[in-house]
Amino acid sequence: MAWTGQCPDCREWNTLVEQAIPKPAPKATGRAAAGGNGRSLGAGSAGRPVRLSEVAASRVKRLSTGIGELDRVLGGGIVPGSLILLGGPPGIGKSTLTGMALANLQTGGASTLYVSGEESASQVRMRAERLGPAALDAMVLAESSLETVLGTIEEQRPAVCVIDSIQTMHSSELSGAPGSVGQVREAANALAEQAKRLDVAVILVGHVTKEGSLAGPRVLEHLVDCVLRFEGERERTWRTLSAIKNRFGATSEVGVFEMRSGGLTEVLDPSARFVEEATGAQGSVVLASMEGTRPVLVEVQALVSPSELEVPRRVVNGIDRNRLSMILAVLARHVRLGLGTADVFVNVVGGVRIDEPGADLAVALAVASAQRGEPLSGPDGRPLACFGELGLTGDLRYVAHADRRVAEATRFGLSPVIGPGGERLSGLSPCVTVRQAMKVAFSGLKAESEAAAA
C-alpha cells in the first residue's frame, strides 16, 4: 500500500490512519455454510428482540451544575453516564466554565475529577483560585496517559470527570502522536465505554480548527451524547453556549455569559444588554430572534461602500455568508437594490451568532439602510425592530413564535415591529412582501395602509 496524505473521499489532509486488519476467521465450505438459497449464514448467535412497550422506563436524575445557562443548554443538567464534548477556540473560557461546574457539583455533594493533559496541577490551582474556595475542593490529575486516566477513573468512580483536553490523551498501544486521528478516536472510545459501564459523566474539552469546527475525527461527534459549542470574541466579554447535538434535550437552547475577573457570569436578560447599545443609526436594526424557547433582541449592523475590487467583498460576522448572498439577490431582483459594485459588511453586535431564517428581514433592512444612508427608527426615535424569513420570490414568510418576539420587543419600547403578516398581533406591523416591508420601514406608515395600496 502506497503512502497517501489526502483522503480520496473527503479531500482532507492528514486524516488517514494506518490500522492493522484482523485476520478473518476460517469460513465453512459447501452447503453447510449456506442456506437453502445458497447465501452465506453468519456465525453469531441470535439475539432476542423485545417490544418497546415491554422495556422498563427508567427516570434518571440529572446532576445540576449550579449554572443555570449551562443546565438550560444541556436540557436540565448532566445525565449520569453521558459523554459531553465541549468545543471552542483557545482562551474563550472552556476551562473556566468546567471549573465552575465542578466547583458547584463538589459543593452539592457530587464527587468530581479534573484531568489536565495540558497543565500541571499547580497551574490548574492558580487558575482555579480566582473562581473561589469551592473550586479548590475538586480533585485534579495532571496526566496525559490514557491507561493511567482510565485506571484513576476506575478507582475513584467520580460522578463527573472532565478531560482537558481530549487531544492530549495518548495510548501506549498506538504509534501515533497525541492529537492524531487514531489517538483521539481510541481515547474517546475507551472513555465512552468506561462512562457507560461505571455511570460516570465525562466532559471532553476539545479544540477547534481555524474554520471553527471541532478538531479531530468526525466519529468523535457521533460517539458522544452531547456536543456543546462555546464561542465569542476574545476581545469582548460576551460568550454564547449552544448545543449542536443533544441526545437528552433540545439543540435550540442558547446560554449567554459574560467573562469577568472572577469567572463567567450568567446573563439572565441578554436582550437588555444588547438593546442598550443599539443606536438606531443608518445601517442598524434590532432583530427579534428566538434562541430556543427564549426571545432575544440583538442588533444587526450593515455597511455598504463602493468597491475598488473586480469582485466586491461580502464580509459577515454572526450569520451565514451564503445566506447574505441570497438576501442580496432577493433585494436586487424584487426591490431593485443593486449592490453588484459595492462591498457589503454585516455584523451581529456582541459576538452572537444567529442561524435562524428569521434574521433575513433584519439583514435586508440593515443593508438597505446603509446603502440609502437613511437611519431606521420607530415613531419615538428608538431603533426599528423586525423579524421574518425572505423567500426567493420576494415574499415575507412566517416564522415561529411571532407573539413572543413581538412581546419581547414591546417590553423595551420597540414597537411597532415589522414582521410577516401571518397573524394579527398587537404591536406588529404585518407585511406580505419584502418590498412592502421596505416601504413601511422607510416611510413610517402603518402596514394596514400599505397593504391596501399594494
372: domain CATH number?
3.30.230.10
Could you read off the pLDDT of 155-203 as tens digits, one per residue? 999 999 999 989 899 998 887 788 888 888 899 999 999 999 999 999 9
Shortest CA distance to 212 belongs to which of 321, 103, 65, 101? Answer: 321
Is 258 in the same domain as 327?
Answer: no
Task: Count CA within 13 A, CB hemisphere, residue 91.
Answer: 5
Identify whether 286 is part of a domain: yes
Same domain for 392 and 435, yes or no, is yes
CATH of the domain at 173: 3.40.50.300
| Spatial CB neighbours of 434, under 8 Å, sequence gap ≥ 6 | 330, 331, 334, 335, 361, 364, 390, 394, 395, 396
Looking at residue 453, its pLDDT comes to 42
Q: Is residue 31 part of a domain?
A: no
Domain that holds residue 103: 68-268
Residues 291 and 426 in one domain: yes
Question: What length does the chain have?
Answer: 454
Question: What is the distance between the alpha carbons of residues 207 and 319, in angstroms, rounded to a whole number?
Answer: 22
- Could you give the CA distance from residue 183 to residue 34 in angstroms, rounded to a whole number? 40
Query: 377 with 293, same domain?
Result: yes
Domain total for the chain? Answer: 2
Alpha carbons 99 and 52: distance in angstroms, whole number: 39
* Residue 164 domain-assigned (yes or no): yes
Q: Is 76 helix (H, G, I), strand (E, B) or coil?
A: coil
Question: For residue 223, what are the contacts with CB-CB under 8 A and spacing of at least 6?
Answer: 83, 188, 189, 192
Q: Give the pLDDT confidence score for residue 174 in this predicted structure.
A: 82
Same domain, 172 and 278: no
Q: Do residues 234 and 296 both lie within one domain?
A: no
Q: Alpha-carbon distance 48 to 272, whole Å?
A: 56
Residues of the chain where predicted confidence (pLDDT) is lower than 70: 1-5, 14-43, 209-218, 234, 378-380, 444-454
Instruction: Please tell me whether residues 285 and 400 are part of one structural domain.
Output: yes
Q: E-assigned strands of 292-416?
A: 294-306, 314-317, 342-348, 385-386, 389-390, 396-397
Say how far apart CA 314 and CA 344 lie, in whole Å.
Answer: 5
